[in-house]
């Protein structure tokens, strides 16, 4: 983000006025010098107020009423910023963007809407001032001349939900603490030298080289494998430390905000500096300015300086320029097709949609043109539209509503998530699937040998949709000469009386099979286990062997163990158990399931949230937490499975939100686990968001219901 101009009204010192950055074509100056004194400091503060975040700025330890000239009239700030893709906007929305805030008499800060701008004519797109707590949104840094450093008290674990405020707080108060230099350098050194992380390595080397070149500081030991940074910091001249601390603090915040980028110090940034010449001696100030200029090559600096310091700025600094990006033209959304074409819309599936593949085969056999679209992508010039949705989530239903608005009576919609009673005509159902509709299938086949299931689980739509188990095709219908890889969608193939014959034929044909909907251990005996060990069970991409089972609750675990032992799995096997949560199990029961699976050699967990099918039972979370909730969560995070699945992190997040709603506080052990290795920079944002919305979109449960200790209803 770069700053282009600002109009303000009812500011305490300046009243009504504006600040424009010098611009030549699509270039702006890297350094803009503002007059020193109360007016210049106010300019920097106003920019920080507008860009700091409407949820963050009220947390400043500063009387915001002092920013307004008249208590009865609101302070209004209108800005034009340059946003950069892909960090702050898409390539279609990058470039000049209008934003602003209004602060009323109650010190409430509200983002401006399209019709609220009075001083700027918004010839650039309007964006709502950032209200959230994201670590990189509207990234700016602000520094006053009277800061000090943390000494062993810095928060490197993002425990403060409003951590972003530390980036510009020193503009508003004296004695604000900046990054602990010793601890920061130790952490940076560990990741760069020990872990050999590219981004931190580049950052450490750049700091070491520039501090030595520009400030004359001996940093030779910084890049060695072992370095005592407490001793290294003590060697730096005390008069230089405040200036060095600013450079380290800026590097720390950029590395935190863009931790997943290869070059965090090269990100576009806005740096506000109030009298930086007071950080160091008159002789070293030009060197420090050159240091910051080279350390952050894409940063824009706005600084207040006295006349003497202005003259001492290196001549190469004001001449530097930054390019303002321009938005790219959006491609046309509508894709015109020949009249009479049929549009098939896959609303939500990750796998190829079998019903659409059969419809495609039907229409192609009639000589008609078929077009596949994902989600609700509009296509012009079609005669009929067929949409299929596997799930009934709000996203799927919203996409369907858009299609209905666009195509009206020309649309036919079905699928498990839309209408379980609507079926393909028998003549279409009997056709082979058109694998060419989904080129990503490659050499894989997909389909059903059997449909239906003899068990009537309340959470499942199969009993109502398919009924009892029955054979609907054979392997000759599914497998072509070019394919030996089969994605099998059967609901419960092992429940069919001919299950052993099916497995024997898979072995005889030397097929690789992905049992996509898992296998039912209740139907396993010694013969089934022996055959399944010979079948080449695979993951959906067919890159490794994976056996898929399911475990919906913690009933009959010892029976499950006995069935599992028939396979004689070892820790070198990959055995995935799909576990549903959020339906009718308690935290204690979930922990029992995960601990049980950890005891099975080769087993790991893939957890899925319960999503009610149309007309299905709601989630029953009564008594999810009991009086031992904290102890159970401590047990949960210590169950380390052989494979760390992303889905388990999603479960942790779901539980943490539920816990926060029930107890009014976060469970920090669970939060620590979620952010132990990945996305540390998002921890503070996540902490602030707890309780903002219902976990995983489940129906709201009040605190008493979640904490009620009565037994859960069992499926």
Q: Rounded mean pLDDT of 458-465?
A: 80
In the chain, residues under CATH classification 3.40.50.280 are 341-429
For residues 456-488, one letter each, b for 16 or more C-beta atoms within 10 angstroms of the residue's C-beta and e for the rest, the string is eeebbbbbeebeebebeeebebbbeeebbbbbb
pLDDT at 335 over 80: no
pLDDT at 654 over 50: yes
pLDDT band at 708 (very low <50, low <70, confident <90, very high): very low
Q: What are phi and psi of 389, to 5 degrees?
A: -125, 130
pLDDT of residue 679: 79
pLDDT of residue 245: 95
Q: Which of 391, 394, 373 is nearest to 382 (CA)?
A: 373
pLDDT of residue 195: 78
Torsion over CA of 658, 663, 665 and 667, rounded to 10 degrees?
A: -60
Alpha-carbon 95 to chain mean position? 24
Q: Strand 603-609 to strand 512-515: parallel, antiparallel, or no bridges (unpaired)?
A: unpaired
Range with the poorest average pLDDT among 373-382, 426-435, 439-448, 457-466: 373-382
For residues 584 and 553, the answer to whether their CB atoms sit within 8 Å is yes
- 43-83: per-residue pLDDT in tens? 999 999 999 888 888 888 888 888 888 877 899 999 999 99
pLDDT of residue 438: 93
Q: Which of 387, 225, 307, 223 is nearest to 34 (CA)?
A: 307
pLDDT of residue 133: 62
CATH class of 444-523: alpha beta
pLDDT of residue 295: 95
- 467-515: per-residue pLDDT in tens? 889 999 999 888 876 678 999 999 999 999 999 999 999 999 999 999 9
CATH number of 2-13+20-323: 3.40.50
Candidates 3.30.930.10, 3.40.50.280, 3.30.43.10, 3.60.21.10; CATH matching 341-429: 3.40.50.280
Residue 654: CB atoms within 10 A of its CB come to 17
For residues 490 and 519, the answer to whether their CB atoms sit within 8 Å is no
Q: Give the Cα separation of 433 and 447 in Å (integer).
A: 8
- 408-424: per-residue pLDDT in tens? 888 999 988 888 888 89
Range with the poorest average pLDDT among 265-274, 633-642, 700-709: 700-709
pLDDT band at 709 (very low <50, low <70, confident <90, very high): very low
Q: Rounded mean pLDDT of 239-264?
A: 91
Distances from the Cα of 297 to the Cα of 31, 104, 188, angstroms:
11, 38, 20
Range with the poorest average pLDDT among 369-383, 434-448, 633-647: 369-383
Burial label, 496 (beta-carbon count in 10 A; 0-12, 13-18, 19+): buried
Alpha-carbon 371 to chain mean position? 31
Distances from the Cα of 165 to the Cα of 187, 189, 454, angstroms:
22, 26, 58
The residue ranking higher by pLDDT, 1 or 72, is 1
Q: Give the Cα separation of 75 and 61 in Å (integer).
A: 19
Distances from the Cα of 578 to the Cα of 489, 530, 604, angstroms:
15, 22, 9
pLDDT of residue 197: 77
pLDDT of residue 338: 56
Q: Strand 411-414 to strand 450-451: parallel, antiparallel, or no bridges (unpaired)?
A: unpaired
Helix 181-189 to helix 241-257 angle (10° resolution) is: 50
CA triple 312-47-13, angle to 5 deg: 85
Alpha-carbon 316 to chain mean position? 40
Q: Rounded mean pLDDT of 649-660?
A: 93
Percentage of the chain modeled with pLDDT above 90: 54
472 CB-near residues (< 8 Å, 6+ apart): 448, 449, 450, 451
Burial label, 12 (beta-carbon count in 10 A; 0-12, 13-18, 19+): middle
Q: Token pair of 144, please?
A: 């006053």
561, HSE (Cβ side, Cα atoms, 13 Å): 13
359 CB-near residues (< 8 Å, 6+ apart): 342, 344, 386, 424, 428
Q: Give the Cα separation of 148 and 178 in Å (integer).
A: 6
pLDDT at 332 over 70: no
Q: Give the Cα separation of 130 and 88 in Å (integer).
A: 11
- 283-316: per-residue pLDDT in tens? 899 999 999 999 999 999 999 999 999 888 887 7
Q: Give the Cα separation of 256 and 611 in Å (integer).
A: 35
- DSSP 8-state code for residue 301: E
Q: Token pair of 604, please?
A: 């790991």
DSSP assignments along 496-532, one per residue: STTHHHHHHHHHHTT-EEEETT-B-GGG--HHHHHHH
pLDDT at 30 over 70: yes
Q: Give the Cα separation of 646 and 661 in Å (integer).
A: 23
For residues 325-342, one letter each, b for 16 or more C-beta atoms within 10 angstroms of the residue's C-beta and e for the rest, the string is bebeeeeeeeeebeeebb
Average pLDDT of the chain to the nearest whole number: 87
Q: Give the Cα separation of 346 and 370 in Å (integer).
A: 13
- 177-195: per-residue pLDDT in tens? 999 999 999 999 998 888 7
284 CB-near residues (< 8 Å, 6+ apart): 215, 240, 243
Q: What are phi and psi of 109, to 5 degrees?
A: -105, 120
Burial label, 72 (beta-carbon count in 10 A; 0-12, 13-18, 19+): exposed
Specify the 3-state DSSP secondary structure of 222.
helix
pLDDT at 699 over 70: no
* ω into 571 cis (within 30 of 0): no
pLDDT of residue 477: 87
The residue ranking higher by pLDDT, 700 or 414, is 414
Q: Token pair of 588, please?
A: 């204690």
pTM: 0.76
């Amino acid at each position: 983000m770069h700053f282009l101009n600002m109009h303000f009204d009812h500011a305490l010192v300046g009243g009504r006025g504006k600040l424009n950055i010098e611009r030549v074509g699509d270039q702006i100056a890297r350094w803009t010098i503002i007059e020193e004194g109360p007016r210049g400091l106010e300019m920097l503060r106003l920019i920080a107020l507008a860009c700091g975040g409407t949820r963050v700025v009220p947390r400043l330890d500063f009387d915001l009423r002092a920013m307004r000239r008249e208590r009865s009239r609101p302070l209004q700030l209108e800005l034009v910023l340059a946003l950069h893709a892909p960090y702050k906007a898409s390539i279609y929305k990058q470039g000049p963007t209008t934003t602003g805030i209004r602060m009323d008499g109650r010190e409430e800060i509200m983002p401006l809407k399209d019709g609220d701008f009075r001083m700027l004519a918004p010839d650039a797109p309007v964006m709502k001032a950032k209200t959230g707590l994201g670590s990189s949104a509207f990234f700016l840094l602000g520094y006053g001349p009277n800061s000090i450093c943390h000494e062993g008290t810095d928060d490197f674990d993002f425990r403060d939900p409003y951590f972003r405020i530390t980036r510009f707080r020193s503009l508003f108060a004296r004695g604000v603490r900046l990054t602990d230099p010793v601890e920061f350098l130790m952490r940076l050194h560990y990741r760069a030298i020990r872990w050999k992380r590219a981004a931190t390595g580049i950052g450490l080397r750049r700091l070491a080289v520039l501090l030595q070149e520009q400030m004359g500081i001996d940093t030779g030991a910084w890049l060695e494998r072992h370095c005592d940074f407490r001793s290294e910091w003590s060697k730096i001249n005390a008069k230089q430390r405040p200036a060095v601390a600013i450079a380290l603090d800026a590097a720390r915040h950029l590395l935190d905000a863009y931790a997943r980028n290869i070059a965090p110090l090269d990100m576009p940034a806005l740096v506000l500096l109030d009298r930086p010449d007071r950080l160091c001696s008159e002789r070293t100030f030009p060197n420090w300015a050159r240091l910051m200029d080279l350390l952050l090559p894409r940063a824009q600096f706005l600084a207040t300086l006295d006349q003497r310091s202005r003259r001492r700025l290196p001549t190469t600094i004001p001449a530097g320029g930054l390019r303002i990006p321009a938005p790219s033209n959006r491609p046309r959304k509508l894709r015109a097709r020949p009249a009479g074409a049929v549009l098939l819309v896959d609303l939500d599936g990750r796998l190829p949609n079998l019903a659409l593949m059969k419809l495609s085969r039907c229409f192609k056999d009639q000589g008609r043109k078929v077009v596949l679209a994902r989600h609700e992508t509009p296509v012009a010039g079609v005669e009929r539209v067929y949409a299929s949705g596997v799930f009934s989530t709000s996203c799927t239903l919203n996409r369907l509503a858009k299609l209905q608005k666009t195509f009206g009576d020309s649309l036919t919609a079905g699928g498990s998530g839309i209408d379980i009673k609507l079926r393909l005509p028998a003549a279409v159902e009997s056709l082979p699937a058109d694998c060419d509709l989904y080129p990503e299938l490659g050499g894989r086949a997909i389909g059903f040998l059997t449909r239906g299931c003899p068990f009537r689980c309340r959470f499942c739509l199969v009993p109502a949709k398919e009924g009892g188990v029955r054979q609907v095709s054979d392997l000759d219908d599914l497998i072509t000469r070019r394919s030996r890889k089969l994605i099998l969608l059967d609901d419960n193939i092992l429940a069919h009386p001919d299950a052993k014959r099916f497995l024997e034929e898979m072995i005889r044909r030397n097929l690789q099979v992905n049992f996509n909907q898992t296998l039912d251990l209740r139907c396993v005996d010694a013969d089934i286990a022996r055959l399944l060990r010979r079948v080449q069970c695979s993951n959906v991409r067919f890159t490794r062997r994976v056996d898929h089972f399911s475990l919906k609750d913690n009933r009959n675990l010892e029976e499950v163990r006995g069935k599992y032992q028939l396979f004689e799995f070892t820790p070198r096997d990959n055995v995935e158990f799909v576990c549903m949560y959020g339906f009718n199990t308690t935290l204690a029961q979930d922990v029992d399931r995960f601990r049980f699976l950890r005891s099975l050699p080769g087993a790991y967990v893939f957890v899925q949230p319960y999503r009610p099918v149309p007309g299905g039972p709601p989630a029953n979370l009564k008594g999810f937490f009991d009086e031992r909730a904290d102890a159970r969560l401590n047990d949960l995070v210590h169950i380390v499975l052989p494979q760390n699945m992303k889905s388990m992190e999603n479960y942790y997040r779901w539980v943490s939100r539920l816990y926060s709603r029930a107890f009014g506080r976060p469970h920090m052990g669970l939060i620590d686990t979620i952010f132990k290795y990945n996305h540390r920079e998002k921890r503070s944002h996540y902490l602030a968001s707890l309780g903002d919305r219902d976990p995983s979109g489940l129906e709201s449960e009040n605190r008493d219901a979640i904490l009620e200790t009565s037994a859960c209803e069992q499926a």
